[in-house]
Amino acid sequence: MSWRCDLTGKRPLVGHKVSHSNIKTKRRFLPNLRNVTLISDTLGRRVRLRVSANALKTVDHRGGLDAFLLKAKDEELAPRMLDLKRQIAKKRAAKAG
């Protein structure tokens, strides 16, 4: 399992751990990932995701998983989420049309 957020694409960053004597050692800054189950209102089912805490707050702010996915850029999303986004868009178009 990679350290990558399914929704935002956040990945580990690389930097230095700096000691008191200013010795720099390579280190990784890992994203704060959580395993969560979010509900898609349009599809009427639950989706298990590995999401950063920041993305979880953004999902709440935008009004749920469906709204987040429809507003997100395709390049940022994981392939599984891109498929889910297409399913949601298709179902909404069928309801509206």
pLDDT for position 2: 84
* pLDDT averaged per 10 residues in sequence order, the chain, 97 residues: 88 97 98 96 94 96 95 89 95 88
pLDDT for position 36: 97
SS3 label, residue 90: helix
Q: Find the DSSP H helices in the chain.
A: 53-62, 65-71, 79-96
Q: In whole angstroms, what is the distance from residue 4 CA to residue 8 CA?
A: 8
pLDDT for position 62: 94
Which CATH number fits the domain that encloses residue 71? 2.30.170.40
29, part of any domain: yes
Phi, psi of 56 (to 5 degrees): -60, -40
48, part of any domain: yes
8, part of any domain: no
The number of domains in the chain is 1
pLDDT for position 95: 87
Q: Give the residue numbers spanning the domain of 41.
A: 13-96
